[in-house]
Amino acid sequence: MTAKLLLVDDEPGVREAVTAYLEDSGFEVTAVANGQAALEYLETNVPDLIITDIMMPHMDGYAFLEKVRQQPHLNHIPVIFLTARGMTRDRIQGYDAGCDAYLAKPFDPEELVAIIKNRAAAASGCPG
């Protein structure tokens, strides 16, 4: 079964590059530009995993993650922060906020795929 991913990032170049790489890696990707668009998508869709930037206009990744975690039908979905904020304190803040994994930009796409496979397998109860 193909894992369905939601990618949330306000940078068009990042959305396009990450989407292309993940699709080439066998994932089904829906990409949106901000947290509000992601919440609208999540009203009628439940992806297997969410990848989100932190620094976005209108609603940052922390506020988006909080809203996801408040929804009973969504709070089980693994969330990966993919962000330019790479200091140790930033990563700790991300984990404290409830993300499942934290990857700083620039990143190795192969590492992102490995994290996705690991988190999706853990969420489904199947070994990676």
pTM metric for this prediction: 0.93
> Is it the case that residue 125 has pLDDT exceeding 80?
no
> Of 105, 108, 81, whose CA–CA distance to 92 is shortest?
81
CATH topology (fold) of 6-108+119-124? Rossmann fold (3.40.50)
Residue-wise pLDDT tens digits, 80-96: 999 888 888 999 999 99
Question: How many CB atoms within 10 Å of residue 107?
Answer: 14
What is the pLDDT averaged over residues 38-59? 96
Alpha-carbon distance 116 to 107, whole Å?
14
Q: What angle do CA 34, 113, 44 make, to 5 degrees?
A: 40
Could you report the per-residue pLDDT of 50-65, keeping only the tens digit for each? 999 999 998 999 999 9
Neighbours of 49 (CB within 10 A): 22
